[in-house]
Structure 1
């Protein structure tokens, strides 16, 4: 069994060899082209609009105002033609998709107190797109599935004992690779999103207030090592560690005249 463990680690490490770099310089493993990811994003957004009620009026204008200010600070080539929609849904959620699509649930408007808090969420979601996290996750999952199939076949894992071992290998991949990878994405998006909101002239300190709101509104969380997201406390600590730099960016943005005034619906 020991050789299987070594073979598993070796095969998965080989599969995860990096071939790209994130905005922060972290090496990434990406299999899909930008065109493929944009097509996936467009299809997902179209399907979401079919399944959910799209909200217009003041709420839509409020979200559009914030999104426009954030997108304007993206690097050249990433700031064009973003589509923004508000969806009727009580969950405090938002998302951004490759290809330039942003969705915000009405439940998030209820839990955020001002434009700065909402900008923190939308900036975080845009950061996922900017850092190609969807590509990285999809590529990692594809490579992991292939690796596990190869290992199961090479080891002759058949019958009841084989199914049990395959399940154990799957659990090992889930908690050893896929979930920590997702937590890394979330922490990276927190940092990049904090910088983006500050560059756009939104107060980055509101991100701390936001996560305190989330913590008050949310129930129990799974242990951090079993979660795809850092705990609220971990998130706040991470944001606080980057706040000095974010505040410098914020002051520079305000001095440059970037001062968004997006009116929250009453």
Structure 2
């Protein structure tokens, strides 16, 4: 049975791949972009199935408006995918105030407002699935990525809480945590701070090798990742988290095991702050 999907940031990367695969199988996609020129092929090829909307997710009033109008136009929307976002690299000291504000507005606040806008409609229709594209960088932190991690750690906490709030309404929430993939996210849209010579040779600049496609290619296959995301909507109950990529999973497990081991050393410390009553 065909579904209706609403996906942010469909002009490239996972958003484009998801949209193309869904349209190819006959589903309807409401896809948001800031500029339609990059997806003119989809607009021409799928004039009835593809509903392209102009949206900058940092514009909260327009987020509310586009979501409302999309539900009114299509009646029901089965799946909301928050995909819009980008990477920002550089030591915390190297970032400008404007860069800090914009990545929070895009990756964190934009996703929060999309979900908040959709919830009344999903609750009223009595079903739905919310998919939040995060990153294994929502669990694992690397130097030179502080603000990106701040947005991903933040949106994961938001979604984990919301998942518990909306489960009684038959609304599922899945946080997708991809590893590195061969998309524009890493090799085109990534933004960089004005680098300071004081950080040359510092771990904060280790990302420079990662962004150089002539030296190393990300292991993730975007088409296969998109397939797994699409397949996840038929899993009941909705998986809260889904890691995509063997390297990402290994790094996540190692990080969480180390974190848990550290917590276990703090039993006496934690208990020492309780009232003895």
Higher strand share goes to which structure? Answer: 2
Higher helix share goes to which structure? Answer: 1
Structure 2 length-normalised TM: 0.27
